[in-house]
Copies of this chain bind each other. A is one copy, B any other.
Amino acid sequence: MNNTKVTKGLVIVNTGNGKGKSTSAFGILLRAWGRGLRVCVVQFIKAETGQWGEVKAARKLGIGWFTTGDGFTWTSKDMDETAARALAGWETAKEKIVSRKYAVIVLDEFTYALHFGWLETSQVIDWLKANKPEDLHLVITGRDAPQALIEYADLVTEMREIKHPFAMQGIQGQPGIEF
């Protein structure tokens, strides 16, 4: 094993149809926070008014949490507004990325903005290649990560749903577990 220390900020993508994409990103934040690193989240799709456990936890921990979404697309009444807010979220993300204030930044549900074409994937990747600080870790979550993003990323994990209780057994999402 090569023990040469390479300081490189990883681009991490959590995609797939299963659970754990965002949750794993929050786990990374928790771990980094435990080591005293500065971290933040830019959340793209989920509603700002949501009272998710992770938002509460982030507030308690002093983790920056920036939201731009107006709810999941399938409940959105105005797709143009959804697209506009995705663009606004990307502006926020770019600002945080170049700020050099953070060791880890999570772009939560960011793949949807790419998948639905609200942002141009190639332009996003070109911008990241030119502007992401070398030592910044970037964690991007969401289904349907575009192939170009997968090629750009260092670490890609697919969360595959093997068994899901809500579809099969009619059990509701559990506060503190699912959201």
Residues of A within 8 A of B (CB): 2-6, 8, 10, 12, 14-16, 18-20, 22-35, 37, 52-61, 103-104, 137, 150, 153-165, 169-172, 174-177, 179
Contacts and interface: CB of A to CB of B under 8 A. Distances in A.
Number of copies of chain A assembled together: 2
Contacts of A16: 160
Given A154-B163, A165-B10, A170-B6, A53 B31 contact: yes
Given A14-B20, A27-B26, A32 B162 contact: no
Given A103-B176, A161-B157, A170-B6, A53 B32 contact: yes
Contact of A172 (B5, B103, B156): B5
